[in-house]
């Protein structure tokens, strides 16, 4: 009987470890899509990103976004120091099913370039059915929506997102 109980406990431990390993393995996405501003400015974007799930803090979006052969790295991929906040705050965000989407920046030695050239993903679903992000290039901010190839499609997505 003792051997049987040990086997059951061992199987339960293996099952729990397998679930944790599966849950904590990043979900990778490599997507190429078109985004468009409400003024009709279209860009082709390559998302090479992954969703990093955590037990006690929100799921994070990390990786790279490429626009016009310029690669923007998630702030976690650079040497930039960020404040992740307090443990309890992060746990509450996790329980609310919130996601943490950091800025994406060009890898450079110039700290001020972070503010002049960056991407901020504001809304993205895990299947890329809706993307809303702002792109700052040389200090000029433009909002892009997608997937969209025309001004009309971008305006439809913008209207839908801003009604929420």
> What is the tens place of the pLDDT at every residue in 66-118?
998 999 998 865 554 555 568 888 888 888 888 888 788 887 756 556 778 89
In the predicted structure, residue 9 carries a pLDDT above the cut 70: yes
Min mean pLDDT across 42-56, 87-101, 120-134, 138-152 is at: 87-101
Can you tell me the distance from the alpha carbon of 122 to that of 138, in angstroms, rounded to the nearest whole number? 20
Task: Identify any residues that bridge with 67 across adjacent strands, giving them in sequence order.
Answer: 45, 70
- DSSP annotation string for 72-139: EEEGGGSS-------HHHHHHHHHTT-EEE-EEEE--S-TTHHHHSEEEEEEE-TTSS-EEEEEEETT
Give residue 139's region: left, alpha or beta (phi > 0; psi -120 to 50).
Answer: left
Which tokens is 83 given? 């404040």
> How many other C-beta atoms can be found within 10 angstroms of the C-beta atom of residue 4?
8
Which tokens is 65 given? 């976004």
Whole-number pLDDT of residue 21: 94
């Amino acid at each position: 009987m003792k051997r049987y109980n040990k086997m059951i406990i061992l199987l339960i431990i293996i099952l729990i470890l397998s679930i944790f390993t599966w849950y904590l393995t990043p979900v990778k996405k490599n997507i190429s899509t078109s985004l468009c501003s409400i003024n009709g400015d279209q860009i082709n974007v390559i998302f090479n990103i992954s969703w990093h799930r955590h037990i006690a803090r929100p799921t994070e979006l990390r990786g790279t976004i490429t626009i016009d052969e310029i690669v923007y790295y998630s702030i976690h991929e650079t040497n930039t120091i960020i404040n992740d906040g307090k443990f309890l705050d992060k746990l509450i965000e996790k329980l609310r099913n919130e996601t943490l989407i950091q800025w994406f920046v060009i890898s450079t030695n110039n700290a001020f370039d972070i503010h002049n050239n960056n991407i901020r993903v504001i809304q993205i679903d895990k299947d890329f059915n809706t993307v809303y992000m702002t792109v700052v290039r040389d200090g000029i901010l433009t909002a892009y929506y997608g997937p969209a190839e025309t001004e009309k499609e971008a305006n439809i997505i913008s209207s839908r997102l801003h009604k929420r």
